[in-house]
Amino acid sequence: MADPVAEREHLARAERDIAEGERRVTRQTLLVEELRRDGRDTGEAERHLLILQETLASWYSHRDLILQELARHEPFHPHR
């Protein structure tokens, strides 16, 4: 059985990582748009954006696993 306190700490870390990842994806998206608007090569910036998006997707999946683990160990309260 996982330690619920540790899982909540992992969840908080995952939420922080996701928030930072979302900020990075936004910044990189804006950079790609700026480069495109200026008629510059966007290849490297787009590859970097793809890596950021893939990383963010894996962080979402990791958070979902943490939430599932927490749900397994918390009692069900349908009237909350």
Under the banding of pLDDT at 50, 70 and 90, the label for residue 4 is confident
How many domains, the chain?
A: 1
**CA-to-CA distance for 48 and 21, rounded, in angstroms?**
13
Q: Look at residue 62 and tell me if it is in a domain.
A: yes
Supply the pTM of this predicted model.
0.83
Q: Look at residue 78 and tell me if it is in a domain.
A: no
User: Which domain, by its residues, includes 39?
Assistant: 4-72
More confident residue, 26 or 2: 26
* pLDDT tens-place string over residues 41-76: 999 999 999 999 999 999 999 999 999 999 998 765
Contact 6, 75 (CB under 8 A): no
Contact 70, 56 (CB under 8 A): no
Q: Look at residue 53 and tell me if it is in a domain.
A: yes
Angle at 60 between CA 26 and CA 50, to 5 degrees: 45
- What is the pLDDT averaged over residues 15-25? 98
Output the pLDDT for position 77: 55
Question: What's the sign of the alpha-carbon dihedral 14, 53, 19, 17?
Answer: positive
